[in-house]
C-alpha cells in the first residue's frame, strides 16, 4: 500500500513516534517493480488507529517491501477495517488474511493455552513480563497457537497492564466489584477472574465498547491506559483503579500455510522486521505509560489506588489459582511461575 493510500491517522502516529529516530539500513535481496510482487498478503489489526502498534506495523510492511526488492507486498488494514477481533481470527485461520495482530486474551478463544499470560495478578512488573514472554512462557504460547494452524511471526508486543474503569463509583477493593457489570474481552479467563471477584462480566468486542459504556449496557471496563486513551473511553468513564490485574500481550499471528509458501529468505525478512516493530512498540508503550496518567487526569479521569493484595488474596481463597493451574496443567504453570514466582 502506498503512503498516500494509508490512513492519515496512521501516518501521523508514525511521524510522531519516529521523530528523530535513526534509520536502519536495509539490504534488498532482489530488485523488481513493486507492481510485480510475487506475494501479495494482507495484515490486519483490531486496534485503534492511534495505538503505537499500528504505526510500527505500518513501517514494518514498508521495510519488508523494500528489503524484499518488491517481491512481497503487505496490504495493511488497521482498526477493524476487515471486521471485529473474532471475525479476524476466523479470517486468518482460513487464509482470508495472512497476518493478524491480536491480543493474547482474544487469541486464547481458539488457542486456550495462550491465556496463560492472563492469569490474574500474576506479573508484578515488566521485568517479570519480558522474562516470561521472551522465555519459557512465550515458548509455551507458541506451541499452543501452532496447534490451531497458526504460528507466531514475531516477538510479543505490549498490550500493557490493565486497569479497571468505572462511571459511577471508584473501585478500590474486591467488595467494590460485587454485582458490578464490567465489560471484558471475549476470553474465558477474564470472565473467570471477575466472576471469582464477585462481578458480573460481559464479553464485548473492543470496537463495540464505547457504545456499551455510553448506553450503560455495562458499568465499567478494564484495559490498559493506551487503549483507554486511544478509544476515548475517558468520555464515558470517570474513575480508574490502578489494579494492574492482568498483563496482556499482542501476538502477530500468521496463517501457517501462507507463511510456509514464502521462500526462506522472505520468511527471514518478515520475522526480522516484525521483531523490530515489536521491540519498538514496547519502547513506545513504556514512554506512553509515563505520560498518559497526567494526560487522562487532565481529561477528567480520577485515578484511585487499588488494594492489590486484597484482590490476590480474594482470588486465592475463591480457588481461582487452583482451578486454572489444573486447567493449564503442571508444565504450563511451571513456565509461568519461572517468571512470576510462586502463585498462591
pTM recorded for the entire structure:
0.85
Q: Is the pLDDT of residue 21 over 70?
A: no
Structural domains counted in the chain: 2
Q: Is the pLDDT of residue 17 over 90?
A: no
Asked if residue 106 and residue 232 are part of one domain, the reply reads: no
Q: Is the pLDDT of residue 28 over 80?
A: no
**Model pLDDT for residues 281-307, shown as the tens digit of each residue:** 999 999 998 899 999 999 999 999 999
Higher pLDDT: 49 or 66? It is 66
Of 104, 1, 103, 134, which Cα lies nearest the Cα of 59? 1
φ and ψ of 266, to 5 deg: -75, -35
Asked if residue 23 and residue 84 are part of one domain, the reply reads: yes
**Model pLDDT for residues 187-203, shown as the tens digit of each residue:** 899 999 999 999 999 99
Asked if residue 278 and residue 144 are part of one domain, the reply reads: yes
Asked if residue 78 and residue 96 are part of one domain, the reply reads: yes
Asked if residue 302 and residue 254 are part of one domain, the reply reads: no
Asked if residue 232 and residue 97 are part of one domain, the reply reads: no
φ and ψ of 166, to 5 deg: -150, 160
- Cα gap 83→92, rounded to integer Å: 12
Asked if residue 266 and residue 119 are part of one domain, the reply reads: yes
pLDDT at 187: 87
Asked if residue 184 and residue 130 are part of one domain, the reply reads: no
At residue 344 the predicted structure's pLDDT band, cuts being 50, 70 and 90, is low
- Cα gap 11→49, rounded to integer Å: 10
**Model pLDDT for residues 318-342, shown as the tens digit of each residue:** 999 999 999 999 999 999 999 999 9
Asked if residue 255 and residue 132 are part of one domain, the reply reads: yes
Asked if residue 242 and residue 94 are part of one domain, the reply reads: no
**Model pLDDT for residues 181-238, shown as the tens digit of each residue:** 999 988 899 999 999 999 999 999 888 999 999 999 999 999 999 999 989 999 999 9
Asked if residue 193 and residue 76 are part of one domain, the reply reads: no
Domain holding 168: CATH number? 3.40.190.170
- Cα gap 5→28, rounded to integer Å: 24
Provide the residue range defining the domain that includes 301. 161-246+292-340
Asked if residue 229 and residue 173 are part of one domain, the reply reads: yes
State the average pLDDT over residues 88-117: 96
DSSP character string of 48-92: -TTSHHHHHHHHHHHHHHHHTTTSEEEEEE-TTTT--HHHHHHHH
Amino acid at each position: 500500500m502506498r503512503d498516500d493510500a494509508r490512513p492519515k491517522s496512521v501516518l501521523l502516529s508514525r511521524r510522531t513516534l519516529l521523530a528523530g529516530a535513526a534509520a536502519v539500513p536495509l539490504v534488498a535481496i532482489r530488485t523488481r517493480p513493486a507492481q510485480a510482487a510475487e506475494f501479495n498478503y494482507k495484515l490486519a489489526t483490531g486496534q485503534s488507529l492511534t495505538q503505537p502498534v499500528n504505526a510500527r506495523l505500518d513501517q514494518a510492511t514498508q521495510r519488508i517491501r523494500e528489503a524484499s526488492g518488491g517481491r512481497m507486498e503487505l496490504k495493511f488494514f488497521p482498526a477493524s477495517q476487515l471486521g471485529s477481533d473474532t471475525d479476524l481470527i476466523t479470517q486468518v485461520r482460513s487464509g482470508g488474511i495472512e497476518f493478524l495482530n491480536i491480543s493474547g486474551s482474544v487469541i486464547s478463544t481458539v488457542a486456550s493455552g495462550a491465556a496463560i499470560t492472563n492469569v490474574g495478578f500474576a506479573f508484578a512488573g515488566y521485568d517479570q513480563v519480558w522474562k516470561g514472554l521472551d522465555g519459557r512462557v512465550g515458548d509455551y504460547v507458541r506451541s499452543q497457537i501452532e496447534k490451531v494452524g497458526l504460528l507466531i511471526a514475531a516477538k510479543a508486543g505490549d498490550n500493557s497492564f490493565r486497569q479497571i474503569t468505572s462511571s459511577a463509583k471508584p473501585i478500590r477493593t474486591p467488595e467494590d466489584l460485587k454485582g458490578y457489570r464490567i465489560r471484558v474481552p471475549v476470553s474465558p479467563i477474564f470472565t473467570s477472574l471477575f466472576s471469582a471477584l464477585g462481578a458480573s462480566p460481559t464479553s464485548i468486542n473492543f470496537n463495540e465498547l464505547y457504545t456499551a459504556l455510553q448506553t450503560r449496557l455495562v458499568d465499567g471496563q478494564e484495559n490498559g491506559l493506551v487503549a483507554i486513551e486511544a478509544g476515548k473511553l475517558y468520555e464515558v468513564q470517570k474513575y480508574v483503579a490502578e489494579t494492574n490485574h492482568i498483563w496482556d500481550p499482542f501476538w502477530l499471528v500468521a496463517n501457517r500455510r501462507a507463511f510456509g509458501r514464502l521462500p526462506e529468505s522472505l520468511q527471514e525478512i518478515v520475522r526480522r522486521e516484525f521483531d523490530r516493530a515489536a521491540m519498538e512498540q514496547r519502547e513506545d508503550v513504556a514512554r506512553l505509560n509515563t505520560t498518559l496518567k497526567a494526560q487522562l487526569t487532565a481529561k477528567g479521569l480520577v485515578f484511585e489506588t487499588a488494594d492489590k493484595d486484597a484482590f490476590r488474596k480474594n482470588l486465592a481463597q475463591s480457588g481461582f489459582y487452583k482451578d486454572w493451574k489444573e486447567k493449564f496443567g503442571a508444565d504450563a504453570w511451571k513456565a509461568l511461575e519461572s517468571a512470576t514466582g510462586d502463585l498462591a
